């Protein structure tokens, strides 16, 4: 669970910087505060405040699955990163009404705005997939 706490703390710290007004505009990547009221690419934003409860239910189920299935022992770091980052984004929904995003890619095409937690979730999923295939 150390990985979960580190992921949560690091992500919340970086988000705090942007909530306090940090911005940086670049040619291909800009760092600017936005709030995502949906999930990836703002999907499901129409659920409004119900989305945070759906995400809370999904994270609770995932946590139970990881702990009860013994995956926390076997995949401690990637499972911790996944849970910590997920709970960090959930915390944003309760505190700010949406997920605090700040990395905007706009070099050649517009890409979704994302944050450190999103990167950690992607990394954790890739790590878990790689580890599960490697162990078979």
Mind telling me the catalytic residues?
Answer: 101, 118
Burial of 7 (0-12, 13-18, 19+ CB in 10 A): buried
């Amino acid at each position: 669970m150390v990985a979960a706490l580190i992921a949560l703390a690091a992500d919340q710290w970086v988000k705090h910087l942007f909530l306090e007004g940090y911005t940086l505009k670049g040619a291909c990547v800009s760092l600017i505060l936005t709030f995502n009221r949906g999930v990836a690419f703002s999907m499901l934003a129409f659920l409004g405040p119900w989305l945070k409860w759906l995400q809370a239910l999904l994270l609770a189920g995932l946590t139970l699955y990881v702990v009860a299935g013994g995956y926390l022992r076997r995949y401690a770091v990637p499972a911790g990163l996944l849970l910590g980052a997920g709970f960090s984004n959930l915390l944003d929904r309760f505190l700010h009404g949406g997920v605090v995003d700040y990395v905007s890619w706009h070099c050649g095409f517009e890409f979704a705005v994302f944050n450190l937690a999103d990167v950690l979730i992607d990394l954790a999923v890739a790590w878990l997939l790689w580890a599960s295939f490697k162990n078979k």
